Amino acid sequence: MKAYSTQNIRNVVLLGSTKSGKTTLSEAMLFEGKVIDRRGTVEAKNTVSDNAEIEQINQRSIYATPLYAEFMDTKFNIVDTPGADDFVGGAVSAFKVCDTGVLLINAQQGVEVGTEIFSRYAEQYDIPLIVGINQLDGEKASWETTLDSMKEAFGKKPVLIQFPVNPGPSFDGFIDVLKMKYYHFIGEDGKREDLEIPDQYKDEAEALRAELIERAAEYDETLMEKFFDAGVLTEDEIRKGIGIGCKAGEVLPVFCLSAKKDIGVKRLMEFTIKVASSPADRKALTIDGQEIECKQDAPTSIFIYKTAVEQHLGEVAYFKVMSGELTEGQDLENPETGDKERITTIYAVAGKKKEKVTDLYAGDIGCTVKLRAAKTNVTLSQPGTEIAYEHIKFPASKYRTAIKAKNNKDDEKMNEALGKISAEDPTIIVEYSKEMKQTILKGQGEQHINVVRWRLLNENKIEIDLSAPRISYRETITKVAAADYRHKKQSGGAGQFGEVHLLVCPYVEGEDPGNRFKVGGRELVLNIKGKETYDLAWGGKLEFYNCVVGGAIDARFMPAILKGIMEKMSEGPLTGSLARDIRVYVYDGKMHPVDSNEISFVLAARNAFKEAFRNAGPKIMEPIYNLEVMTPTEYMGSCMSDLQNRRALIEGMGTDRGFDVIKARVPLAELYRYSTSLSSLTSGSATFTMNFADFQPVPGDVQEKLLKAYLEQDKEE
């Protein structure tokens, strides 16, 4: 394969809901680009893109697959992404290295929630979109219904470049109002006839052409002036105006497709070459905010957007050449760590097919092997240039579960395998919670986690158990209480003695409680000698006041008292959960000239704090998450009822681009397997996002259950 210049490269990400036909389209693009001479099908499990065993078992894309095609003296780098929200990480990675998106809409379904999700991501990452209405040959294909759903979702952005002839099982062509031709297809291998527009379609074609010209003129002053003067624009001028609008995110050019029959694929590729951005049109942002142009005559830099472990090759790093020219044998360095890497081999990639090349120019996408330390989100650049690109920001997890090997002997092997899976897919997060004493596995949904389970069993021969993760509750207090405790131990030789009197009250940000307190019917006035404030590692604060007068406790024992209090706060008095937001005043005590030591005051402080805490209106706090659900209107009632059963506080409802939106605050304890429930309630047509909000007190009945469960667990242990 020859090396393509930056101007002759198009990096395209295929987006759309599950079953919109992305993999089938990629197969047709590879066929048109002469990479394959026969198109495979998802059903026959022989497509270039869905080549992993688990993808073939499920007959759906799970991984984002890089591909290429050579067409009209242009190299298309194509990333075929999964349609399920559970595997959105692949699309997010692709946005980092692609310059244009082709958004597929199933003509039998119209705009779906998945369509909306990916269009939002494209908008967020500033990726211009071209829309392909696919499966126009389907039994239930409806052009009009699909257009209506697009108008509701995208307003006036959609602009028709084509409209179909005979949509449905007889679909065999379309009218192209940019070319003003009728393209008629013979057979299922992309063979077409370029014909004059039949009389019955001329009026519709003329009307749409006029609309196309008017929209093209909106985005360029010169074109607008010509349009006002002459009322017409040439094909090239229309293309220019639509291209400007598309790159600005104001226009969605719409094409007709049957990827299965290779209808419209060639025209889509032709349009993309002439209108879509080349890598040279876009700049990349570095970690320090610098903009780097994608130019060939510049220092070499590459960005690794994906890593994978592949049979016979080992670890493969997929990258984009962000600037300069990458050559075989070139030495680069990671500017963030100083690690040196040699690029021993370079490949152009079409799924499992790797074609060895000697160099790649700025804007091109490829892969290499045998890097020592470079992983996803790593920049390798020419030594001395210090170029490091901004990292990919992956979406927050929406599903969490506790994971454990069925055989304890497999624990180490399981953790090692999970580390490798997480390195390949950064939206899989594995962390051990010391607080919960569990390994927590996080992902985008239950399907996502099930892929991990399958890989552990089939690739690593490890059986696992998944269970509901424990909840990281917090404990705090609501009123003032005081307590004292004497620790005394005599067993021959030196004894142990320490007595601590302390008072606790709630910590409230910005509130000064003063030094006067009413405790047990008497007023206590404290003489504050010292104050220390601690931001707790688990959130919240501890304020520690030394109010001891008259030398009752030597100052050298105050750190031991603080240590005892901290120890008890890390294992709260109610349920063993972490305690937070407390003020502690140590105001009196006793010591012994011989028997007092550090451990004595640690134990005295622990027990005094425990007693005071239990008398201070203790409350269990639970993590609350902000939840935003997007659902088709017909499922709104079911979603609302389900949320109310989960103790949700509904904060708002609205609509967004044709979908209903619910905003709520929900306890984390009620969100286990929520993605699965939501999918079941809405036939897979709704989605949600969640992020941590704060901690709030649990209701009284819930607190009673938690206390009872802790006591029973304590007895068992």
Task: Take residue 240 and report the two structure tokens written for it.
Answer: 């220019």
pLDDT for 310 equals 87
pLDDT at 140 over 90: yes
pLDDT for 492 equals 65
Sign of CA dihedral 601, 602, 608, 612: positive
CATH architecture of the region 621-702: 2-Layer Sandwich (3.30)
Considering the domain 399-467 in this protein, what is its CATH number?
Answer: 3.30.70.870
pLDDT tens readout for residues 54-78: 999 999 999 999 999 999 999 999 9
Contact 162, 197 (CB under 8 A): no
Superfamily of domain 284-381: Translation factors (2.40.30.10)
Q: Residue 363: which of 418, 417, 400, 325 has the closest Cα?
A: 325
Give every CB contact of residue 310 below 8 A, 6+ residues apart in sequence: 316, 352
pLDDT at 320 over 80: yes
Lookup result for tokens 């152009």: 348
Domain with CATH 3.30.70.870 in the chain: 399-467
Domain with CATH 2.40.30.10 in the chain: 284-381
| pLDDT band for position 311 (cuts 50, 70, 90) | confident
pLDDT tens readout for residues 448-487: 999 999 999 999 999 999 999 999 999 999 999 999 999 9
Give every CB contact of residue 93 below 8 A, 6+ residues apart in sequence: 64, 305, 306, 376, 392
pLDDT tens readout for residues 141-156: 999 999 999 999 999 9
| pLDDT band for position 698 (cuts 50, 70, 90) | very high
Burial zone of 354 (CB within 10 Å; 0-12 exposed, 13-18 middle, 19+ buried): buried
According to DSSP, residue 471 is labeled: P
Q: Tell me the whole-structure pTM to 2 decimals.
A: 0.88
pLDDT at 175 over 60: yes
What is the pLDDT averaged over residues 42-52? Answer: 94
pLDDT tens readout for residues 77-104: 999 999 999 999 999 999 999 999 999 9
Q: Residue 390: which of 453, 305, 318 has the closest Cα?
A: 305
Burial zone of 434 (CB within 10 Å; 0-12 exposed, 13-18 middle, 19+ buried): exposed
CATH architecture of the region 6-281: 3-Layer(aba) Sandwich (3.40)
What is the rounded CA–CA span in Å between residue 219 and residue 626?
Answer: 39
Instruction: Classify domain 478-617 at the CATH topology level.
Output: Ribosomal Protein S5; domain 2 (3.30.230)
Contact 385, 290 (CB under 8 A): no
pLDDT tens readout for residues 247-281: 999 999 999 999 999 999 999 999 999 999 999 99
Identify the residue with better confidence: 544 or 687: 544
Domain with CATH 3.30.70.240 in the chain: 621-702
What is the rounded CA–CA span in Å between residue 623 and residue 100?
Answer: 40
pLDDT for 713 equals 74
Share of the chain above pLDDT 90, in %: 89
User: Any idea how long the chain is?
Assistant: 717
Cross-strand bridge partners of residue 565: none
What's the mean per-residue pLDDT of the chain?
94
